[in-house]
Every structure is written in structure tokens, then in C-alpha cells.
Structure 1
Amino acid sequence: MQYFAAGVPGSFHLRLFPDSSIHFVHSSLCLHRISKSPEVLQNKASPAWNKGRIHYTSAPDEVVEVYASQFAEDMENFLNARAKELVPKGMMVLILTATPKGMPYSELPTGMWYDSLSSVLMDMAKEEIIEESKVDSFNLPYYAASVEEMEEIVEKNGCFRIQRMESSNQSAWMKGPVDIPVWVRHMRAAMEGMTLWKWGYG
């Protein structure tokens, strides 16, 4: 089978390729990143003000809803862009982080990461190592939708038909003793660049 691969600049939430130029789209562990952290999360007058946290993990429903709304908007843009770029009857395979229906995000491995990092940053703020206002303004641009949310977004968009959707058992990852050094390396690989940039070290 012949195929052509290319690296192109730009956001995957927007157009990247010419009309009807792609037969197969594959995205792996990218789409949980939303295009921006909603500004309302920093508004002290808003019910969605996310004070003392850096994510919607363990946050009030108003914060979760703001994240969910941004994710839905971004997915709508992503689906519209890929629909124009794919040839008729083209195929798309997406792998995303997800939240099982009814499970608090704080009980998932990544939720525990974010809670831990949030706690560390707040402790540093209390010790005046960093400014608390910077912690309050730091909201990670990640959202893990449920299967039901994805189905609703795709069906509402109308550009694609779901042929198959399945979820993996994330709780299996948590069995046995937790290897803290491995957790730290994972968190550093994912978060270091963004965290350093926020506090002016990048």
C-alpha cells in the first residue's frame, strides 16, 4: 500500500489540509486538549471561578460545565475541518482520554495527577514561593469527555457516523502498589513545559 505522510503547522482544531485530500485520519491522545482555558474560570464574579485549583478535577459543577462546553465547541470545529479534508467515505480513528459515565474525574489516574499538582502549587503559594494569584489563573486545558458526550457531539455535528466505539478499563491501571517515581516522571513529561512557561522559566 502506498501512502504519503506530511507534517503541517497549525492547530488540529482548524483546517490543515486541502478539500478531499485525505483518505484516513488518525488522532491519538490529542483531542482531550482544548483550544484554550476558558477566561470565565478566572472571573472572580463568576460561579465558575476556579480558585485554588488548576483543573476541573474536584471542582464545582459550574467549572466542569465550562470545560465541557469548550470541549464541545472544539470538537465541533475539529469534525467540521476533517469532514472537508476527507474524501467521500473516508475514515477517521480517534483515541481520547475519557471518563466512565458516573465516575468522578478525581478517581481517575490523570485526575489524581492534577489534584496532586494543584495541592503542591497551593502549598508553594502559602509558603510564598509563588504567587497565589498565578495559581488561580493557571487552568490546565484538558478535558476527558464521556462516551455519551462524544456520541452526542458526533451525532449533533452530522458529518460522521460512528461505526465503532469502545472504552478501556482505566481502573486496571491502578491495581497493585503505586510507583511514585513513575508517576512523577509521567507528570513532568506532560506538565513541565507548560508549568515553567506559566511561572516565567520557559
Structure 2
Amino acid sequence: MAAENTSKVCEAHPMTGGDGPNSYAKNFTLQRGGLDVSKELVRKAIAEKLDGEILHSNTFRIADLGCSVGPNTFLAIENILEGVEFKYKSQGMNSQFPEFHVFFNDHTSNDFNMLFKTLPQNRRYYAAGVPGSFYGRLFPDASIHLAHSSYAIQWLSRVPKAVVDSKSPAWNKGRIHYSNSTDEVIRSYETQYTEDMKCFLQDRAQEIVYGGLMVLTFPVRPDGTPHSDAPTNVIFQLLGSSLMDLVRKGVVKEEKVDSFNIPVYTMSPQELVAVVEQNGCFSMEIMVDMPLLLVHDPILMAQLRASHLRAGMREDLKHQFGEEVLDELFDVYRKKCEEHASAVDPGKTVNLVVVLRRKGD
């Protein structure tokens, strides 16, 4: 069963590796803000929601799903470890700490070399890399005590086939994202999201022990809000608009834009609740909005947006359009972010921290 699930074919969209000026390792400020804000909530969740029976395990296993290259993943793991240790102390088990085993998971194209080079030297855990998509099986049955994922599950397993098919009513011509497109395109993305989340929850239900936790942080679209108005989606709309500007200048070919789509879906809380309830293996313990730490200077915010998106999208954009257009593309994009500062204000972005607990049979 597990071998079949791990064979699921998924597209990889790696963050820019290495430690250069455009690498993810040097452009992680926005995600870092999310980790800082959620720190106490995660510790509280572990203290209150983690099943006490798990504390009798000799080894406590943690999985970070979609870890990228750090340093954010290391900060998240350290926070989790501190939460687990506090849980042990609160149960009067000060001298019975388990050994910690942390699994860093991402696609095979992730820069695991950079990840392992920058592992904290004073870490209190054994580390292992686990390559593969989290939309398939990654671990043996009932082997993980706590799974964590930060700003990763908004990435779909693939671009919906229909949106790049010129013969389909869902062909997304002239756009690179669903949120400002037709109802047919939106439905294609919604269908892909539902299918992917079913796989994600089904596989994690097999891997996480009864009473174990899954902590998820990701951007969402408030219930009832049009897809086109979510700030996270506006970011991709502006990138698509920037590419079309380059088409009009003759720098980029239009057919290249027509065949390029970003497989990111901004779900609503209601959509997440529905798929969790349908799965039936997890209880929704915590679901809270999380404010981001604000940058009030619109020019600085536009620069952060551009550098952050370049680190996240460079490999895909380079493959589709060529590396030679990237400087001009992100210069245009940065200016658009300045012009639309209110639409991409991080203070308007709704991020959720969700804690799911694995139910017993």
C-alpha cells in the first residue's frame, strides 16, 4: 500500500538553492515573521493537545514537510523541541527526555546539500532528509509523533491539466494564475486542491501515531472573499501582468505565458474544515488567524515581495522564459508592487495556524 502511494507523480517547484543574493536562504523574511508570531501558539498546542501516552516513547519523531533549505526550518524545529520538552517537564518527567529524530522533507530537486551544510552544529536531534512529495506516502505506518509544515501546502501537486490545454474551456490564456481568470479555470484549481488535500490527509493519517499532532501554517482566503481579492493571489496576478508587459515589449513570447501556470491555491478556512471532516481521521484542535509582522514602508515592502517571489519562483521562471529576462521581469514586478501597495499589504493577508490531532480508531 505504501509503495503504491509513494509512486504518485507530482511536479516539483524548488526554492532557489545555494546562498547567493537571490537564494531562498537569503530571502526568508516574510516566512520568518510567520514563525515568530506563531511560536507561543505552537508551544501551547503541544502542551495542551499532544497525547500524554506518546511521552513514553524512547524516540520522538518530528517531520517538517516542505522544509526547503533553512534557516526557517531549523527555527521551527527548535521551537517544537522546546514545546515537547516543556510538555515532559509539566508531566514531572524532567529526566526522561526522549531522543529526537527530525525528518526534513522536500522534493528531490530541493537543495539538500545546502540544508545539511547549514544544520545547527549544537542541535539536539538526529537529522535525516526524506525526498519526495507530501502528496504521497513518506514514512512507515504510525511512525511520526508530530508533523509540521509552514507555507507549503498552498502548493498543489501539479498544474491542473485543463488550464494549459488550448482546446479546453478552462484554457488559461494570457494568465499565469487562476484567481483573476474564468470560472472554468477556478473550478479546475478547486478540483485539484480538493484531490491533493484528500491525499495529504489520508497519507498523514497513516503515518502519524494516535494522539500525535500536525501543525500547519499557510495563507488563506477569508470565507466569502473572491479569489481575485486575496492579497496572496494579487501577488501572482501582478507577476502575470509583468510578464504580459514583457510580451508587449517583445522580450517574452506570448505562447510561453499561455503555457505557464503557477500551481498555488489559496484555500478558505471553510474549504479546509470540509476536507478534514471528510477525511475523518483528525480532530481540528486549533484554527486561528495569525497577523504578520508589518513593514510599513511601501518601497521596502515592494522590494521584499520581489526578492521573496524571485527566490521562490526563479527555477520555474528560468526554465520557462530564460534566466536573461529575470532582472527586467522583477524590476517591473517591484514597481507594480509599489503601485498596488494597498492590495499586497501583508497586514491584509490572512494566515492560519491549524493544529490537527490524530484520532484513535
Q: TM-score, normalised by structure 1?
A: 0.90
1:85 pairs, out of 207, 216, 222, with 207
Correspondence 1:92-103 to 2 at 5 A: 92-103=214-225
- Return 5+ residue gaps in structure 1 as ranges: none
CA distance in 1, matches of 2:161, 2:141: 33
CA distance in 1, matches of 2:299, 2:287: 30
Moved more, 66-75 or 101-110: 101-110
CA distance in 1, matches of 2:297, 2:270: 30
Q: Residue 11 and residue 162 in structure 1: after superposition, are their counterparts in 2 closer, same or farther (change >3 A)?
A: same
Match for residue 312 of structure 2? 190
Find out whether 1:4 has 2:125 as its counterpart. Answer: no
Which SS does the other structure have where 2:314 is aligned?
helix
Amino acid at match of 2:298: P
Which SS does the other structure have where 1:166 is aligned?
strand
Amino acid at match of 2:305: W
Match for residue 249 of structure 2? 127
Amino acid at match of 2:157: S
Moved more, 101-110 or 189-198: 101-110
Correspondence 1:46-125 to 2 at 5 A: 46-125=168-247
Identity %: 42
Asked whether the 8 Å contact 1:109–1:174 carries over to 2, the reply is no
Q: Deviations over 1:53-74 (max 9, x none)?
A: 1001211222111111111111
- Superposed CA RMSD in Å reads 2.1
Q: Deviations over 1:6-39 (max 9, x none)?
A: 3201111111111111111111111000000011
2:283 pairs, out of 148, 157, 161, with 161
Amino acid at match of 1:177: P
Which SS does the other structure have where 1:53 is aligned?
coil
User: Deviation at 1:173?
Assistant: 4.9
User: Deviation at 1:46?
Assistant: 2.4
Q: TM-score, normalised by structure 2?
A: 0.52
1:144 pairs, out of 257, 260, 266, with 266
Which SS does the other structure have where 2:220 is aligned?
coil
Amino acid at match of 1:31: I
CA distance in 2, matches of 1:157, 1:4: 28
Amino acid at match of 1:70: Q
Bigger relative contact order, structure 1 or 2 (CA pairs below 8 A, ≥6 apart): 1
Which SS does the other structure have where 1:197 is aligned?
helix
CA distance in 2, matches of 1:131, 1:176: 34
Which SS does the other structure have where 1:162 is aligned?
strand
CA distance in 1, matches of 2:230, 2:299: 13
User: Deviation at 1:195?
Assistant: 0.5
Find out whether 1:43 has 2:158 as its counterpart. Answer: no
Amino acid at match of 1:124: L
Asked whether the 8 Å contact 2:233–2:266 carries over to 1, the reply is no
Which SS does the other structure have where 2:214 is aligned?
strand
